Chain A
Amino acid sequence: MSRSPNGSWRSVGTRPVRPDGIDKVTGRAVFSADFNLPDALQGAVLRSPFAHARILRMDTARALALPGVKAIITASDLPEITEDQALINGQPPDFRDMSANILARTKVLYEGHALAAVAAVDAKTAEQALALIDVEYEVLPHVIDVQQAMAPDAPVLHDSLITQGITPAPSRPSNIASRHEQVHGDVEQGFAQADIILTEEFTTQPVHQGYIEPHACMARVASDGQTDIWCSSQGQFMVRAYCARLLDMPLSRIRVTPLEIGGGFGGKTTVYLEPLAVLLARRSGRPVKIQMSRADVFRATGPASGSYISMKIGALNDGTLVAAQGILCYQAGAFPGSPVRLGCMTAFAPYDIANVKMIGYDVVVNRPKSAAYRAPGAPMASFAAESLIDMLAQRLGMDPLELRIRNAARDGTRTAYGPRFKEIGYLQTLQAAQAHPHYSAPLGQHQGRGVASGFWFNMGGQSSAALTLNEDGTVMVTTANPDIGGSRASMALMAAEVLEIDVDRVRPEIADTSSIAYSDLTGGSRVTFAVGMAVTQAATELVASLQQRAATLWDIPVDQIDWREGCAVASIDGKQEILSLSSLAAQAGKTGGPIAAHVSINAQGAGPGFGTHICDVEVDPDTGRVTVLRYTAIQDVGTAVHPSYVEGQLQGGAVQGIGWALNEAYQYDDNGAQLNPGFLDYRVPVASDLPMIDTVLVEVPNPRHPFGVRGVGEVPIIPPLGAVANAVSRATGTRHVDLPMSPPVVLRAIQRAARRRR
């Protein structure tokens, strides 16, 4: 581990034990499935065995008659959401689709699609009841492959789906939900200028976020309708808003208490079980707990989109990129809404290219609705772009980092998707990669080294923080964002920094939806930046209040009071006087009452993030098996508030990206049923598969954050796909364009290349 020298903060940049750490390692932390209430019923969800079928008839009478069954709900119990109610402010998500996803209405659209939910006295009875629900299906032809789904004769999932973004609008429905076009410069002219043009087609498979904790929730509805939900999610306000919309309830009727979250990675930015639990609790009059099995998680919760990408780049003989063009087709799953637009925006964002044209298609298929996954949409597009850049480096006989440096976006570069970059640290990551001993280490036989870069926007957004001074001078920092990546520690460190006190005097807490103002969910790498900004402002306000209180006690003007080392300091009659935080807290009753600050903002000025990864692999030429030998993740992280957790983000992202590149894939039988809904055959890397992921934290501070913070959580999953593919391609002497690069796939490519050479 290494990081570039930091400034002179007293707390920011240090590595204290996280406030939630001891609870988590001792098992005391309460995750969603750990939460229980006396008298709670157990819920269970009936799921479709078919990938695509019309529901002709559903009869719950036999199930309801089973002793111990207290309530059953189907889609007819959900309020109808009309087309004009589907979106809020014209923005996704589409609540009509979400409603049909949590309980199928007229058709089931994927194996695992929920049809009904049961609440019973215990889990066994609930399971038995599911088997007694009679459903008559008309099985329809299905389609799970994105290119097949786009074919004119493909089975159509939604009869009313007319492709958006095409004029004139098509007259017939199809599986293409929308077409998105992004044009920068003039690609025809760009390619006309090019000395070298490279074209390739790429495919990637849907991959699951693979969080350890399956979805689970508890709901309780009081006799007056007041509703409580306990669950783990990436945003308690998201859960409240979505449940209110889906169940047609006022927000004030619902309180959501966030429980500890066992991983989300974007996959817990929507709801599946919560509205069902609320309906069942309302109907039965008892609390209802529902939890998914791992198989449920694989069959019914969103993976990242799979993709088919056709891409082309043009360059001059000196390596200057002059044009890039791509057609990106992303699987949305059963309902529209893949992140293909983000793929178009991010693919070439690290580069200064005058002419870029990207076309994206959002395509529905008979798979679970896709969900966000770390840097949604970017890794697959980056895989294609970074592979082509590596091919160009090979063609030119040029060092791949040198080629990237030649074309790197810098301060002031106009991006292909619109805005101009301000202070960015991409070039610095490339230089750090060049200077790293990894890059010049020798390679053996059957070994290869790949590099790739990645870009993510990072986000700000609506954020709330409340700081309260306790009577003994300790400080509560209350925020509204579930702690997924160590944010409690970061919030405490930033508050301690402003207050100039030791971080162990600051206690971070995450509040329920009735105890603090709204915050956007934890996602988009926004929390340390945006919520951190709210915390910093609240701490600054708290200091101002404390100075005011000291002024009252000393009876001097407030502008004569400094704040140093957690104390109000003033020179009174030539003598230095001090009032500590504790004594100001103790005397608060005399100076105006409790001391607190509450800040709610819509944080602007998120700084974009760039990373460059170096990967060494060895490929077994006889079996196609790939071993990652060495891996280094380099990233501009702005300021690392808690460097260990920043390094953890880089390592975790790299590992997830390596899994995406090498072995993770859904397997389906001919009927569209998933064959591997578990971690045995859905192969995320295990610890012994990988070397220690080395990290280099490049710190180019974001000038629009008080401590220079940039989001760090998403960038590190983007470069691995390209870095691993480039390494495998160089090790085997043949280009790998299809993910995952599992042993049979790699062996086939090696054998094909050998035949070509003969």
Chain B
Amino acid sequence: MQYQAPTDLADVAALLASADGKGRVMAGGTDLLARFAAGMPKPDVLVDIKHIAELMDIEQASDGSFTVGAAVCGAAISEHAALCSAWPGVTEAMDLIGSVQIQGRASLGGNLCNASPAADAVPALIAAGAICRILGSQGERQVSVADIICSPGKTCLDSDEFVVSLYLPPRPPRSADAYLRLIPRSEMDIAVAGAAVNLTLDSADVVVAATIALGAVSPVPLLVPRAADVILGSKLEADVMTRFKSVVSASCRPINDKRGTIDYRNHVAGVLAARAALIAGKRAAREGL
């Protein structure tokens, strides 16, 4: 296995193209190296993208949007006050991954491209409407995070493509997001279920926009527009949340595995989504004051 650490963005796609499908991009390596240790076949070329400035940078534009380099580690995200304040759900989701040591390495781009159904940051990014900037030898394209993961472990990226950055759009006032997951432990664990809610309130605290995304309850992270419809136009009243919960639960398509049963995942996804919606609602209302 050949290790490459280019410093120029333009070199990455070329390296991947020359590997002819046997290249692998490494950001923090927190998933990849563990898998090598477990016996997964190694690629011919390992491209470490941490030495490229664009991939390690968080940028805030004057319109309030953010561009987060795909290899920026969790700790750097958590330390970025403006990003945390604009996107508390995305940043708390990233912060939940692994331990302090893992946070020094693990990245949003890596969490996305690992394509796990249980990735914590992905539902939050989907709910946020995040867009990936993807670069390949044929050029550049923009793809919504919701469309990146095709099946467990598989993305829509071609073998010579990689994610440069994640774009979080500007948002109206009184908007906020939240992410919650359930794990039996308090950290160092994989989500049994996860739920992200991104919403906007009007001046009367009525929900005027909402996106709900779930993790670990289907083969790929799940957008649940039906659940969003339930809370649109509401003030997240108790009876609305009861309905919301059951719509979320009914939308899940989980499996039974060692981390949870179908029934438990369905139930808990509803509980978490409802709690996340209330947290996001509170955050959004506070923001408008």
Chain A residues packing against B (C-beta within 8 Å): 622-623, 625, 627, 662-663, 667, 675-676, 680-681, 683, 685-686, 688-689, 742-744, 747
Contacts and interface: CB of A to CB of B under 8 A. Distances in A.
Contact of B184 (A622, A688, A743): A743
B271 A622 contact: yes
Given A623-B271, A667-B258, A744-B260, A689 B186 contact: yes
A742 B259 CA distance: 11
A680 B189 contact: yes
B185 A683 contact: yes
Contact of A681 (B182, B187, B258, B264): B258
Contact of A625 (B182, B187, B259): B182
B95 to A, nearest CB: 13
27 contacts: A622-B271, A623-B268, A623-B271, A625-B182, A627-B186, A663-B184, A675-B258, A676-B258, A680-B188, A680-B189, A681-B190, A681-B259, A683-B189, A686-B185, A686-B188, A688-B185, A688-B186, A689-B185, A689-B186, A742-B184, A743-B192, A743-B264, A743-B268, A744-B260, A744-B261, A744-B264, A747-B264
B267 interface: yes
Interface in B51-84: none
B187 A686 contact: yes
A667 B257 CA distance: 10
Nearest to B99: A686
A229 to B, nearest CB: 28
Contacts of B258: 667, 675-676, 681
Contact of B190 (A623, A627, A680): A680
A685 B188 CA distance: 10
B185 A747 contact: no
Contacts of A688: 185-187
Contacts of A675: 258
Nearest to B274: A622
B73 to A, nearest CB: 20
Interface string B171-193: 00000000000101111111010
A742 B264 CA distance: 12
A622 B267 CA distance: 9
B189 A743 contact: no
A210 B275 CA distance: 35
Contact of A623 (B182, B188, B189): B182
Contacts of A747: 264, 267
A372 B185 CA distance: 26
B184 A625 contact: yes
Nearest to A676: B258
Nearest to B190: A680
B201 to A, nearest CB: 24
A714 to B, nearest CB: 26
B181 to A, nearest CB: 11
B178 to A, nearest CB: 16
Contacts of A662: 184
Contacts of A676: 258
Contacts of A680: 188-190
Interface in B263-278: 264, 267-268, 271-272
A686 B267 CA distance: 26
A683 B184 contact: yes
Nearest to B187: A688
A683 B268 CA distance: 20
Nearest to B271: A622
Contacts of A663: 184-185
A686 B98 CA distance: 12
Given A622-B268, A681-B259, 4 more contacts: A663-B184, A680-B188, A680-B189, A685-B185
Contacts of A627: 186
Nearest to A742: B184
Nearest to A745: B264
Given A622-B271, A623-B268, A676-B258, A743 B182 contact: yes
A294 B121 CA distance: 29
A162 B184 CA distance: 42
A667 B258 CA distance: 7
B15 to A, nearest CB: 27
Nearest to A685: B185
A532 B189 CA distance: 42
A494 to B, nearest CB: 39
A122 to B, nearest CB: 16
B75 to A, nearest CB: 16
Nearest to A675: B258
Interface in B168-226: 182, 184-190, 192
A622 B185 CA distance: 16
Contacts of A623: 182, 268, 271-272
B190 to A, nearest CB: 7
Interface in B81-140: none
A676 B184 CA distance: 15
A662 B258 CA distance: 16
Interface in B230-267: 258-261, 264, 267
A660 to B, nearest CB: 14
Contacts of A683: 184-185, 189
